[in-house]
Amino acid sequence: MYGWYLHHHGIYRYNSMMKEYMRRYKFDGDYRLRKVFQCEFSTYIRQIPTDYIVPIPITTTTWQTRGFNQVVGLLREVPYLTALQTKIEKKAPQSSKNRQERLAASQPFILKTPAKFKHKKILLIDDVYTTGRTLYHAAELFHQAGGDWVGSVSLAR
């Protein structure tokens, strides 16, 4: 489909316990729950040699509703770059879509300053990898910008 493969690692399996954790953390807005996985998640990410660590962004509406980006909340003492922004202000959450709807989704991101990523290694960070569509959309922009390598890490897959 793309002509390249996204190197991805999910630290945990997305099972019923992780689903409950994500519901409480993301959708109920219990920001304190970030600390459950923050240390281990951040330690794993810091061990990957990369030029830029880029968390997946959320829409303005999600930010206003939730008050935090759940991906950034999982990072502790990890220098990251806000290189992506969402094209739209409000969208249906990925969790509300089925597999076909997720795979059919159009590019939701814009890459700020693409020239900065030429010949660089980029590590994308997300909370959950389901179909991979969100991460592949983001990775596509870094590949188009001339990035040498794009990988990704999620808390769960």
Q: Would you list the DSSP string of 29-41? A: --GGGHHHHHHHH
Answering whether pTM is above 0.85, one says yes
Closest by alpha carbon to 91, among 60, 123, 129, 45?
60
- Residue 105 neighbours by CB distance under 10 Å: 16
Q: Give Cβ neighbours of residue 114 (< 8 Å, ≥ 6 apart).
A: 141, 144, 145, 146
Residue 136 has a pLDDT of 97
Summary mean pLDDT of the chain:
93
Mean pLDDT confidence for 133-146: 97
Domains of the chain: 7-156 (3.40.50)
